[in-house]
Structure 1
Amino acid sequence: MSGRWCKIPNAVGAIDGTSLQIYRPSVEPQEQYYSGHRQHHAVHTQVVVDNEGIIRFVQSGFLGHMNDAQQFAMMQRIGTDLVFPHDCFLLGDKIYPNRYPIITPFSAGQVARRHGRDRRRCVKFNRYVSSCRIIVEHSIGELKTYRAVSTIWRHPRYLLPSVVVICAGLVCRRKELNLIM
């Protein structure tokens, strides 16, 4: 998978998170599920896609009050030597930590501290990363075409991660069928 993005040849995919709205929990502490950023109760999902836009890894069930970086720290299997090769990277947005296995764009402060040619390189790099990361946004959009994950979740919460994985499988299957035709 490496080499598809010529300016970042070791980037093999992208990672991003999305939130799925749920009803306010009546039995559990509701504060853990409340996302102040989104202004509703939510369960978050992390999606990893390859550089062709095919969903390779989905993990759902993170509490609503957590951000993408906290969820990434809790993710299983990603970042271990057995699953992710040392010379490959994922593209993430600015919320993720800029350390292996994720490459993030330069922050506005980092760009402002640079001068002249270095500043222009940073801005070009950020634009290139954005143009490459759009595939994960499109994949999440395709995932949310299924009503089970795009509307408010009305069923027991323990079922949600399984439904998200099934919908991700359907998205991958639909992409495979579109490539064949």
Structure 2
Amino acid sequence: MAIIRRYRLPRGQIAQLLNSIGPQLMRATRRNFALSPEIQLLSALRFYATGSFLQVLGDGLGLSKASVSRAVQAVTNALLPLAVEHIQFPASRQDITEIQQYFLTHHHIPQVIGVIDGTLIPILTPSVDGNVYICRKGYAAINCQVICDHKALITDIVARWPGSTHDSFMFTNSSVGQEAQNLQGLWRLLGDSGYPLRPYLFTPVANPMNNRETNFNEAHRVARSIVERTIGRWKMRFRAIHQSSGGLLFAPQKCCAVIIVTAMLHNIAVQMRVPLLNREEDEEVEEEDVEDEDGMGPHGQPRNAQYMAGFRARQQVIDRFF
């Protein structure tokens, strides 16, 4: 447990990571600084876990802050290509059926393949275009789009947009959003009211008028809480991406790489059933940008056909509730 508490992964998994990226770290070591691949990896894992270079210094490794910073960047760059192996959107018929069956059985909403949410990862305010990174909560951040399945595995993550970016814009311009548009009717996601209502993306009813709509909203809320808990556990496991750490002190592109790597490590921990040793889960629920559902868009303009199609598809599901 001491190894897990310190590095968030068991000894065997750390050894597997070292085996995968060790040669790359050895080449970097010969060019830049005399740290073994083992020390570099452990320094990076400890940084991901705590979010503090200074705390790493106190761990008895005897490293300077600059050495730890270089190690974190080297390890992050080496781990990043492995993310595609561990963060995978469901593609096989078996995986899709399993997830859809879970949401239908437990939440009574058909064809759901995942739940989606945006979360803010604090960063140091960039010197260039820093204003666009200021989020609605008043600090510089990367706005990340996270999709997870019923097992709390992150199946897709988009970590490249400044904090001021709206969740709906991120989804529309993401690969999953584009695929959902092309495959309408095959699967759908559940999101909060900050997302656009679509046949492939169900949001809650803004103003429920009867028991069926109320029951649908409750089922939707309970199902969508999965992604909130997943994000909370991810940030609790890897405090580097949590606001309490003071933010990632890298350039935005490097921050995005750290975010993706920690998401990958989260999935590894979940798949290996690594316990979350912190006493309480940090469930951060972001504020929603709620839209009116009166059939009208901004400035009283009629909503587009996609919204109306989503409204009808959701209503068909609501009609089954009682």
* TM-score (norm. length: structure 2): 0.49
Query: Of residues 12, 24, 34 in structure 1, which corresponds to 2:134?
Result: 34
Following superposition of structure 1 onto structure 2, how do residues 1-181 of structure 1 map, counting pairs within 5 Å?
A: 1-6=99-104, 7-26=108-127, 28-35=128-135, 37-80=136-179, 86-108=185-207, 111=208, 114=209, 119-145=210-236, 146-150=238-242, 151=245, 152-178=247-273
Question: 1:67-104, CA deviations, whole angstroms, 9 ceiling, x for partnerless residues?
Answer: 21121122124331699674211100011001142111
Shift of 1:3: 1.6
State the alpha-carbon separation in 2 of the partners of residues 15 and 8 from structure 1: 15
Q: How many residues align?
A: 169
State the alpha-carbon separation in 2 of the partners of residues 142 and 89 from structure 1: 24
Q: Secondary structure at the match of 1:131?
A: helix
> What is the Cα-based RMSD across aligned positions, in Å?
2.0
State the alpha-carbon separation in 2 of the partners of residues 131 and 63 from structure 1: 29
Letter of the aligned partner of 2:221 in structure 1?
S
Q: Which runs of 5+ in 2 are unaligned?
A: 1-98, 275-322
State the alpha-carbon separation in 2 of the partners of residues 82 and 97 from structure 1: 12
State the alpha-carbon separation in 2 of the partners of residues 90 and 141 from structure 1: 20
| 8 A Cα contact 2:180 2:188, kept in partner | no
| 8 A Cα contact 2:142 2:256, kept in partner | no
Shift of 1:30: 2.1
| 8 A Cα contact 2:124 2:250, kept in partner | no
Which structure shows the higher strand fraction?
Answer: 1
Identity of aligned residues (%): 25
Question: 1:45-81, CA deviations, whole angstroms, 9 ceiling, x for partnerless residues?
Answer: 1001112221101110211111211211221243316
State the alpha-carbon separation in 2 of the partners of residues 77 and 54 from structure 1: 16
State the alpha-carbon separation in 2 of the partners of residues 173 and 134 from structure 1: 21
| 8 A Cα contact 1:77 1:83, kept in partner | no
* TM-score (norm. length: structure 1): 0.85
1:149 to 1:84, Cα distance in 2 relative to 1, 3 A: farther
Letter of the aligned partner of 2:171 in structure 1?
F
Q: Which runs of 5+ in 1 are unaligned?
A: none
State the alpha-carbon separation in 2 of the partners of residues 84 and 142 from structure 1: 31
Letter of the aligned partner of 1:30 in structure 2?
G
| Higher relative contact order, structure no. (Cα contacts within 8 Å, ≥ 6 residues apart) | 1
Which structure shows the higher helix fraction?
Answer: 2
Q: Which structure would you say has the larger Rg?
A: 2
1:84 to 1:60, Cα distance in 2 relative to 1, 3 A: farther
Shift of 1:162: 1.6
Deviates more, 1:69-78 or 1:80-89: 80-89
Letter of the aligned partner of 1:137 in structure 2?
E
State the alpha-carbon separation in 2 of the partners of residues 29 and 133 from structure 1: 34
